[in-house]
Homo-oligomer: A and B are copies of this chain.
Amino acid sequence: MNYCSHCGAPVHYAIPDGDNRERHICTACDTIHYLNPKIVAGCIPVWEDKLLLCRRAIEPRHGLWTLPAGFMEQGETLSDAARRETREEANAEVELDELHTVITLPHVSHVQMLFRARLTAPVFSPGVETLETQLFREEEIPWDELAFETMRRTLRHFFADRRRGLFQLHVEDIPQAPPKGG
């Protein structure tokens, strides 16, 4: 951030009065510009004993598999965001169940929040950001071709919970970038 989005003057980086961390502050109009973590909302779409994954048509991780998820937008609810992302990436409609994972990635300031969900019909197809959509049984999950560590953890928790017959919320952090390919 170099300029004030309100008045266009240069910003400087300093601790505002009464605050305890550096912010971008306008040198002309004194507006303080806060930056905050973003929410990535999505779901685990289930049909019978299978899950729907999407193969990414965009960077990062082009060509790898993920659950439908993306940045929550202004003015929408968390559950609307999860349903919208599923519609945009997989042309699929879901009924949301419970929230399943809340995973913070502090190094990129993202909080990923995924619900368990049920496809309302076995109807899906790639959206513009997706190369391919496919239902997978647990033993068919392409573990070595998953796009993100958050998705790997979410799927692991899902299958472990399903085996013991008790789903629960998993709140955790991934404190730094996972190793390459991880």
Contact = CB atoms under 8 A, between A and B. Distances in A.
Nearest to A6: B2
Interface SS of chain A: loop
A72 B36 contact: yes
Contacts of A6: 1-3
Interface residues of A, number: 46
Contact of A78 (B79, B80, B99, B102): B102
B171 A78 contact: yes
A23 to B, nearest CB: 10
B3 A72 contact: no
A22 to B, nearest CB: 11
Interface of A: 1-8, 10-11, 18, 20-21, 24, 33-39, 71-80, 88, 98-99, 102, 104, 106-107, 109, 111, 113, 128, 169, 171, 173, 175
A10 B175 CA distance: 37
Contacts of A75: 106-107, 109
Contacts of A74: 35-37, 109
Contact of A3 (B7, B88, B107, B169): B7
